[in-house]
Amino acid sequence: MLRLVAGLFAALLLALPAAGQDFDKGLEAYWRGDYAAALKEWRPLAEQGNASAQNNLGIMYDTGQGVPQDHAEALKWFRRAAEQGNASAQFNLGLMYDNGKGVPQDHAEAVKWYRRAAEQGHAGAQNNLGLMYDNGKGVPQDHAEAVKWYRRAAEQGHAGAQNNLGTMYDNGQGVPQDHAEAVKWYRRAAEQGHASAQFNLGLMYDKGEGVPQ
């Protein structure tokens, strides 16, 4: 079976709205594409210590929305929010270290921040922490630990993790090989439109593994 594992996606997610009319106004402006207005609302909040605003400001600098793209500035705001325990910012800070954006690449530091977010239930961080264990990046390779984190994310509906968990069952890494279980997880991801899972599910049908011939 060709192993198609989802990569470390750089998609950065907005944090859940924090309490406050100004934050909500910024969120509304962001979603309608008025980034200057969003910045006007969020920057004062971020400077006052609002972790969700800090995370969102980091996203805007990382992507160059309403400001010149500046990974170092993005890193600064992600760190401020992450140190307050904001799970989305911890995930985003992990991505910055993982990909060497605004900071020298450091997989061990990426693992640290992914773990903090993963332990709070952040599905993207759980999946990425699984990838780090799966590939031995920043931690000793440990397929059983990878399976644990993939499963946590997969059970939350994370399509990439569902595909990754499927590959673990497909190849018998970290779990006994079980093609039927692999098919189950490939199918869940495929039904969400995950292209690699759709390909992997097709291969299972083509080979008659885990499905009726």
**Per-domain boundaries in the chain:** 21-120, 123-213
Average pLDDT, the chain: 91
pLDDT band (50, 70, 90) for residue 2: very low
With a cut of 70, say whether residue 64 has pLDDT above it. Answer: yes
Is pLDDT of 166 > 90? yes
pLDDT at 181 over 80: yes
130: closest CA among 1, 8, 3? 8
State how far the Cα of 86 lies from the Cα of 24, in Å rounded to an integer: 18
Query: Fold match between 21-120 and 123-213?
Result: yes
Measure the CA–CA gap between 191 and 183, rounded to whole angstroms.
12
Q: What is the mean pLDDT of residues 174-203?
A: 97
Which pair of structure tokens corresponds to residue 22?
């100004």
Cα 72 to Cα 96: distance, rounded to the nearest angstrom: 9
- The percentage of residues in the chain with a pLDDT greater than 70, rounded to a whole number, is 91
pLDDT tens digits for range 17-54: 444 788 889 989 999 999 999 999 999 999 999 999 99
- pTM over 0.95, yes/no: no
Domain 123-213 has CATH 1.25.40.10: yes
Is the domain spanning 21-120 CATH 1.25.40.10? The answer is yes
Give one DSSP letter per residue of 101-134, joined into a string.
SSS---HHHHHHHHHHHHTTT-HHHHHHHHHHHH
How far CA 159 is from CA of 71, 119, 123, 166, 213, in Å, comes to 28, 19, 10, 11, 26
pLDDT in tens, 103-153: 999 999 999 999 999 999 999 999 999 999 999 999 999 999 999 999 999
